[in-house]
Amino acid sequence: MVFLQTLFFLLLVTFGHSFPRHHHPFHSLLTDRAALLEFRKTIVSDPFSSLANWDEAVPVCNFTGVECDRSHNRVIRLILYDKGLVGLLSPVLSNLTGLHNLEIVRSHLFGIIPPEFSNLRRIHSIIIEGNNLHGSIPDSFSMLSKLNILVVKENNISGSLPPSLFSNCTLLNVVDFSSNSLSGQIPEEIGNCKILWSISLYNNQFTGHLPLSLTNLSLQHLDVEYNYLSGELPSKFVGSWPYLLYLHLSYNNMVSHDSNTNLDPFFTALKNNSNLEELELAGMGLGGRFTDTLPSQLTNLRTLLLQENQIFGSIPRSLANLSRLFILNLTSNLLNGTISSDIFTLPWLEQLFLSQNHFKSPLPEAIGKCLNLGLLDLSHNQFSGTIPDSLGNLVRLNSLFLNNNLLSGTIPPTLGRCSNLYRLDLSHNRLTGSIPLKLAGLREIRIFINISHNHLEGDLPIELSKLEKVQEIDLSSNYLTGSIFPQISGCIAVSMINFSNNLLQGEIPQSLGDLRNLESFDVSRNQLSGLIPAKLGKIETLTFLNLSFNNLEGKIPSGGIFNSVSNLSFLGNPKLCGKIEGVSLCSQRRRWIHARLLLIILILVIFVSTLLSIIFCVIGCKHLKVMISSQRTEARKNAARTELISNFPRITYKELSEATGGFDNQRLVGSGSYGHVYRGVLADGTPIAVKVLHLQSGNSTKSFNRECQVLKRIRHRNLIRIITACSLPDFKALVLPYMVNGSLECRLYPSSGSSDLSIVQRVNICSDIAEGMAYLHHHSPVRVIHCDLKPSNCLLNDDMTALVSDFGVARLLMSAGVGATDNMGNSSANLLFGSIGYIAPGNLCILQN
């Protein structure tokens, strides 16, 4: 009895309690739905259809980006990253009063931050970075007492930081207002936020001093770079931040102690900050001597940026105690003493910038001990003596800048061992001797080699032609002799060649015309002779040419670059003639001789051909007919070939990189073992998909060639068309039209629930694919077996037409005769070419048919 009573009581308690509560939350969920639908209405563009399922038919908790609490009473999270939404950050969102997280990141929301957001009393995090919001930060944010994280960076918020923002902030951990237009002082009240550990305010217009109250916080991360903050370096503060990891103060108006003459107090104060990883104090004109005061406790320091200051003295030995140091930047200071050899024992040092100082000493031999060094910039000093052989030990070195010094002696052949080098600048020194042949060991040089403005002599080494990847070669202003060898066309990636101001002789080789990426060619001030190769006019990329002050002769060719250059490209070549203003016209007499010669040839030709035709007639007309007909087919073939070239426009790596925002990960639309596919827009507005192949996988070049071969020959409504391709030694990409509706796979199995394809659409897609395959098998100029047909290889365009793509593993039946069809039936095992380790069921279906 007691038991039943208890049960009844319990039931009463449970229901009595939960009934009204249940009713109320349900009502709230309706409000939440109404608010979200209202928000959707203010969105004017949703490029990826991210909010497609935000409609009356779908439960609000199933909306993309929306999350409810466990009992589905309230919406607690609205999280939309990189959706490209355009529209107002609507105040209506403030009706989602149960919200814990509001994160709409990297879209194009505009308007102000609605003051009504102060209704979001349960909010933990507001992250609205990377939008187009303007206006000021509402005072009413003081009501958000549960806020942990507030990130508004990369908008255009102006005004000052309201002190009230920090009046109710006992739970605040992280504030980030970087890259806005905020101004005024950082309010003292910020010290109220007892557990605030990360402050990012970089790239604004804050003025005044750092607030003293910051000493009451335990900061790990302070980033106020690129503002107008003044005052002394915060030596009083750092002692109270034992957990400090990042201190970024660069590009403000701060000064060192004792009216900008003494760095020691600040450096000494850092001795308790043993966790510090990044110390950035660049671009402030900080004055003082660099001494042994950097505390040896900074054993975690990885980045030390002190460039663009007025620091003088030597590089102190104590730096060698910062054993984790990775980047040391002392560019543009007044350093004038010695470089302690000890710093070259730093085991992790990867980038060392000492450029634009007043160093005078010889280069220390000890540099060769810094085995992890990738970048060494000692340019624009007065370093003297020779280049140490030990540099050859730096096998990881990728960038070496020794230019603009007083270095003498020869270029050490050991440099050829730095096989990862891709930028080499030894220009503007006093180097002598010849260019060492071993330099051809530097085959990896991809970006540039510059040894201009030295005293180098000897012949232009033919080994240069082995630099297949180099983009810029500058050997100008030396005493180099010999000729430009035809093998120069081996530098297939080169875009700039400057051999000017040397003693080169001989002719300019025709093979230069094979350099398809050449943009600038300067051989002025040499002793070159002979004719100008007409093939130079065939290089479409060539925009700068200077052949001045040589002994070139003959007629300046026409076409390409020759139609746009002026006489400034041909100065000081008295034997040149042509139609360019300022260059002497090719003389009449010569023309007359030409004309007479032509006449004689013409008469001869007519005579001989008459004779021949008579002979032919005698021998037999049939032969002649055969010949004529074969000539016709040849002509047709030629026409087809030129059409092919004009159909597939040339595209450079640079254009592709620009079109895809530098192969930005945010543009990635797919990836696989073959490589990545990026979405992009060409300069003329064509939306494209760029398929970049991984070059590590051994088969990829083959696969690329195969796909090019297949794609360029076929044309069908249901097969993807190629716009063009880009093929460099270390970069291969196909440019395809961008398909708005993605792949069939994504439509069949979307990440958000079930597919929205109707039965009619499905049938249409099936028949599209079937038509595409039928064409491949029976009607295309080359017969092709796709071998990798699967939903992810079927793309959908804007009107939902299916197009089959990805011919990377296709098999061509080149000798498509009667036999080929038999072949298909008999040895299907031979034809199973699917991607390694995976053959979609689709393949089997096709082959069974």
Ligand X SMILES: *[C@@H]1O[C@H](CO)[C@@H](O)[C@H](O)[C@H]1NC(C)=O
Q: How far is the CB of 253 from ligand X (least distance, A)?
A: 17
Could you say which of 331, 454, 489, 743 contacts ligand X (CB under 6 A)?
331
Q: How far is the CB of 401 from ligand X (least distance, A)?
A: 8
Binding segment (CB under 6 A) for ligand X, from list 197-205, 366-374, 516-524, 798-806: 516-524
Q: How far apart are CA 98 and CA 64, in angstroms?
A: 18
Number of residues that bind ligand X (CB under 6 A): 72
- Please report whether residue 333 would count as binding ligand X according to CB under 6 A: no
Query: Is 83 known as a binding-site position?
Result: no
| Residue 616, both tokens | 């032919």
- Please report whether residue 191 would count as binding ligand X according to CB under 6 A: yes
Residue 624 phi, psi (nearest 5): -60, -45
Residue 314 phi, psi (nearest 5): -105, 170
Could you say which of 151, 311, 327, 795 contacts ligand X (CB under 6 A)?
327
Could you say which of 143, 169, 373, 736 contacts ligand X (CB under 6 A)?
143
- Please report whether residue 181 would count as binding ligand X according to CB under 6 A: yes
Binding segment (CB under 6 A) for ligand X, from list 434-442, 519-527, 639-647, 771-779: 519-527
Site string for ligand X, 384-413 (x = CB under 6 A): -------------------xx---------
- Please report whether residue 293 would count as binding ligand X according to CB under 6 A: no
Q: Which is nearer to ligand X, 351 or 432 (CB)?
A: 351
DSSP 698-763: TTHHHHHHHHHHHHHH---TTBPPP-EEEEETTEEEEEEE--TT-BHHHHHS-SSSS----HHHHH
- Please report whether residue 212 would count as binding ligand X according to CB under 6 A: yes
**H or E stretch covering 627:** helix 621-647
Q: Which is nearer to ligand X, 284 or 690 (CB)?
A: 284
788 as an active site residue: the answer is yes
Could you say which of 179, 220, 227, 569 contacts ligand X (CB under 6 A)?
569
Q: How far is the CB of 725 from ligand X (least distance, A)?
A: 28
Binding segment (CB under 6 A) for ligand X, from list 222-230, 447-455, 509-517, 824-832: 447-455
- Please report whether residue 125 would count as binding ligand X according to CB under 6 A: no
| Residue 76, both tokens | 């607690």
Strands 174-176 and 149-151: parallel
Contact 373, 397 (CB under 8 A): yes
Could you say which of 101, 142, 709, 828 contacts ligand X (CB under 6 A)?
142
- Please report whether residue 357 would count as binding ligand X according to CB under 6 A: no
Q: How far apart are CA 151 and CA 180, in angstroms?
A: 12
- Please report whether residue 141 would count as binding ligand X according to CB under 6 A: no
Q: How far apart are CA 782 and CA 530, in angstroms?
A: 47
- Please report whether residue 299 would count as binding ligand X according to CB under 6 A: no
Could you say which of 225, 278, 463, 472 contacts ligand X (CB under 6 A)?
472
- Please report whether residue 88 would count as binding ligand X according to CB under 6 A: no
- Please report whether residue 428 would count as binding ligand X according to CB under 6 A: yes
What residues have CB less than 8 Å from 783, skipping those under 6 apart?
A: 776, 777, 812, 813, 816, 820
**Residue 256 Cα to chain centre, angstroms:** 38
Binding segment (CB under 6 A) for ligand X, from list 12-20, 98-106, 140-148, 780-788: 140-148
Residue 182 phi, psi (nearest 5): -75, 150
Site string for ligand X, 548-567 (x = CB under 6 A): xx------------------
DSSP 523-586: --SS--EEPPPGGGGG-TT--EEE--SSEEEEEPP-SGGGGT--GGGSTT-TEEE-SSTTSPPP
> Annotated catalytic residue: which of 32, 176, 474, 788?
788
Contact 356, 378 (CB under 8 A): no
- Please report whether residue 318 would count as binding ligand X according to CB under 6 A: yes
Q: Write the Ramachandran bin of 453: left for phi over 0, alpha for psi from -120 to 50, otherwise beta.
A: left
CA atoms within 13 A on the CB side of 309: 31
- Please report whether residue 195 would count as binding ligand X according to CB under 6 A: no
Shortest Cβ contact with ligand X: which residue? 239
Considering only residues 726 to 745 of the shown chain, the ones binding ligand X according to CB under 6 A are: none
In the block, tokens 């630099």 appear at 467
Binding segment (CB under 6 A) for ligand X, from list 252-260, 474-482, 624-632, 685-693: 474-482
- Please report whether residue 310 would count as binding ligand X according to CB under 6 A: no
Q: How far apart are CA 438 and CA 413, in angstroms?
A: 6
- Please report whether residue 783 would count as binding ligand X according to CB under 6 A: no
| Residue 419, both tokens | 């096989």
Mutual angle of helices 621-647 and 588-619, in 10-degree steps: 130
Residue 829 phi, psi (nearest 5): -60, -40
Q: Specify the 3-state DSSP secondary structure of 92.
A: helix
Q: Which is nearer to ligand X, 200 or 250 (CB)?
A: 250
Annotated binding site for ATP: 691
Catalytic residues: 788
